[in-house]
């Protein structure tokens, strides 16, 4: 049985300035998981958008919220979990705006759903918050992307 322990977990305060470091860590994780360049770019952008949504919407730009991003290697996929500790959101209310509504912002949900192979809210731990899980399938479906060594 495979170990479901995260490859890496990054915890940071809800400040947009912290996303640069997160993007760097996500690129390193993608390299270890043998994602190709286009997959890496897609994953990094989707994670950045998810975290920016947490900062803007869950925490209302307050700089003292906590965000945890975990990267888990599964056979054939890289799983990214983004957790916040804000009030629980109504996932039925989370949707992208219409693409023909041309204005700045508002495309984060669309990008996450388009760039990742799977994107869904899952039940967070008992101590609250929200937990978004995204998956990107590796190009080598069925091959073991061993990143342990």
Question: 121: domain CATH number?
Answer: 3.30.565.10
142: helix, coil or strand? coil
> Per the domain annotation, does 109 fall within a domain?
yes
Considering the entire predicted model, what is its pTM? 0.84
Q: What is the pLDDT of residues 72-126, one digit of tens each?
A: 999 999 999 999 999 998 766 666 555 555 544 566 788 999 999 999 999 888 8
Q: Which of 13-27, 37-51, 119-133, 134-148 comes out lowest in average pLDDT? A: 134-148
In terms of phi and psi (left: phi > 0; alpha: psi -120 to 50; beta: otherwise), the region of 127 is: alpha
Question: 16-42: buried (b, 16+ CB within 10 Å) or exposed (e) per residue?
Answer: eebbeebeebbeebbebbbbeeebbeb
Find residue 12's DSSP bridge partners.
67
> Per the domain annotation, does 90 fall within a domain?
yes
- State how beta strands 77-84 and 8-13 pair: unpaired
Q: What is the pLDDT of residues 5-15, one digit of tens each?
A: 789 999 999 99
104 and 41 Cβ atoms separated by less than 8 Å = no
Number of domains in the chain: 1
Domain region containing 122: 8-137
Q: What is the pLDDT of residues 38-80, one digit of tens each?
A: 999 999 999 999 999 999 999 999 999 999 999 999 999 999 9
> Nearest 5°: CA angle at 84, between 66 and 57?
100
> Per the domain annotation, does 50 fall within a domain?
yes
Q: Determine the Cα–Cα distance for residues 136 and 123; give it in Å rounded to an integer.
A: 20
Determine the pLDDT at residue 95: 61
Q: What tokens were used for 147?
A: 């990143």
> Per the domain annotation, does 149 fall within a domain?
no
> Per the domain annotation, does 15 fall within a domain?
yes
Determine the pLDDT at residue 90: 79
């Amino acid at each position: 049985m495979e170990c479901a322990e995260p490859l890496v977990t990054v915890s940071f305060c809800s400040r947009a300035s912290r996303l640069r470091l997160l993007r760097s860590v996500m690129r390193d994780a993608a390299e270890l998981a043998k994602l190709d360049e286009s997959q890496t770019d897609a994953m990094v952008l989707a994670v950045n958008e998810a975290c920016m949504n947490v900062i803007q919407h869950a925490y209302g730009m307050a700089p003292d919220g906590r965000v945890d991003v975990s990267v888990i290697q599964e056979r054939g996929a890289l799983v990214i979990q983004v957790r916040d500790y804000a009030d629980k959101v109504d996932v039925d209310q989370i949707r992208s705006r219409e693409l023909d509504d041309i204005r700045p912002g508002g495309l984060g949900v669309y990008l996450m759903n388009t760039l990742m192979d799977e994107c869904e809210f899952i039940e967070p731990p008992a101590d609250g918050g929200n937990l978004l899980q995204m998956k990107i399938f590796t190009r080598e479906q069925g091959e073991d992307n061993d990143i342990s060594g």
